[in-house]
Amino acid sequence: MPRYRIQYSKRGPASYISHLDLVRTLERAFRRAGLPIAYSEGFNPHPRFSFAAPLPVGVEGLAEVLDVEMQVSVDHRDLAERLNGALPPGLAVLDVTVVSDNTPAPMAELNMAGYIVHLDEDDLPGPLPAGAVQDFLIEEHIEVTRKGRDGREKIRDIRPGILKLDVLSQVNGLTMQLELQTGSTLNVRPEDVVEVFFRHAGMAVDKADLQIIRTRLF
């Protein structure tokens, strides 16, 4: 069945749509646009969507990636235009390309993500000490604790998944740029990195204060 790779943004009110709800939202948008998507076989057919990496609730995505299989061939420009006419505010298609059957799924192809993280002045615990970034990145192991699905706490080393960490600006708060590994082998969350970075510098931030944008997947 014809497969298309859709690059889209998820911003504003749409950034609060959870991944599961996004699947429903897109399914309905395709219906409204009169674009018949393919469904899986079985008792509970679900749409043939394949996402690169689910976006956490509250994080804006500027260039997310999704593959969709259609029941029929559609001109890719037409697909973009019609879908854009049926998406709720905050969701927008940026680009559509036809992908061949043997192209790996986006999740397999894309396992890095770029982020911009901003903290307002009021939420900053204080100025960053000089050399905080180098001191952090020099560590060979950076451990974070997270509750697993079974409820037990798991300690993981996320250092190998941190490709880049930079301070972009310290005007009107703090703006950082991150490049992190994403996917099933090691999924590093930006809020974890920022929290542990501040802790390393002897300060504490509230994760809920972080304004996070995912700029790209690569």
Partner 1 sequence: MEKQLEKIIRRVQKPGRYSGGEWNTVCKDWQSTYIKMAFAFPDVYEVGMSHLGLQILYGIVNGREDALLERVFAPWPDMEQQMRNTGLPLFSLESRRPLREFDIIGFTLQYELSFSNILNMLDLAGIPLRSADRAGGDYPMIVAGGPCAFNPEPMAEFIDVFAIGEGEELLNDLLDAYLASRRSSEGRQDLLIRLAGIDGIYVPALYRVEYNNLGHINTVTSVCEGVPAQVQKRFVADVDAAFFPTHMVVPAIEAVHDRAMLEVQRGCTRGCRFCQAGVIYRPVREKEPEILLRHADELLGSTGWGEISLTSLSTSDYSRVTPLVNELIKRHGSAGVNVSLPSLRVDAFSVDLAKEVQKVRRSSLTFAPEAGTQRLRDVINKGVTEDNLIAAVDAAFSAGWHSIKLYFMIGLPTETDEDLHGIANLARKVLDRGRKLVRVKGRLKVTVSVSSFVPKSHTSFQWEPQNSIAELKRKQALLRELLRGRGLVFKWHDPEGSFLEAVLSRGDRRLAGAIEAAWRNGARFDGWSEFFDINKWLMAFTSTGIDPDWYAYHRYHYDDALPWDHISSGVSKKFLMREHLCSLEGATTPDCRSGRCHGCGLCVSLEAKPYLAGGEAIASLSDTVQ
Which one among 62, 209, 213, 218 touches partner 1, defined by CB under 8 A?
209
SS3 178: strand
- To partner 1, the closest distance from the beta carbon of 84 in angstroms equals 13
- Complex with partner 1: residue 86 or 213, whichever CB lies closer: 86
Q: Which tokens in the block code for residue 13?
A: 């009110």
Q: 43 phi and psi, to 5 degrees?
A: -70, -35
Which one among 90, 92, 159, 187 touches partner 1, defined by CB under 8 A?
90
- Complex with partner 1: residue 18 or 103, whichever CB lies closer: 18
Cβ-based neighbour number of residue 167 at 10 Å:
13
Number of residues that bind partner 1 (CB under 8 A): 30
- To partner 1, the closest distance from the beta carbon of 128 in angstroms equals 22
User: Which positions from 18 to 57 touch partner 1 by CB under 8 A, shown as an x/- string?
Assistant: x-xx--xx-xxxxxx---x--x---xxx-----------x
Q: 25 phi and psi, to 5 degrees?
A: -60, -45
CB–CB of 129/199 below 8 Å?
Answer: no
Q: Tell me: does residue 195 bind partner 1 (CB under 8 A).
A: no
Which one among 130, 171, 204, 208 touches partner 1, defined by CB under 8 A?
208
Q: What angle do CA 91, 92, 94 make, to 5 degrees?
A: 145
Q: CA-CA distance, 75 to 108, in Å (whole number)?
A: 25
Q: CA-CA distance, 128 to 201, in Å (whole number)?
A: 7
Sign of CA dihedral 83, 86, 87, 92: positive
The closest of 95, 56, 84 to 191, measured between CA atoms, is 56
Which one among 62, 86, 92, 112 touches partner 1, defined by CB under 8 A?
86
- Complex with partner 1: residue 39 or 218, whichever CB lies closer: 39
- To partner 1, the closest distance from the beta carbon of 81 in angstroms equals 17
**Which residues of the chain form contacts with partner 1 (CB under 8 A)?**
12-14, 16-18, 20-21, 24-25, 27-32, 36, 39, 43-45, 57-58, 86, 88-90, 208-209, 211
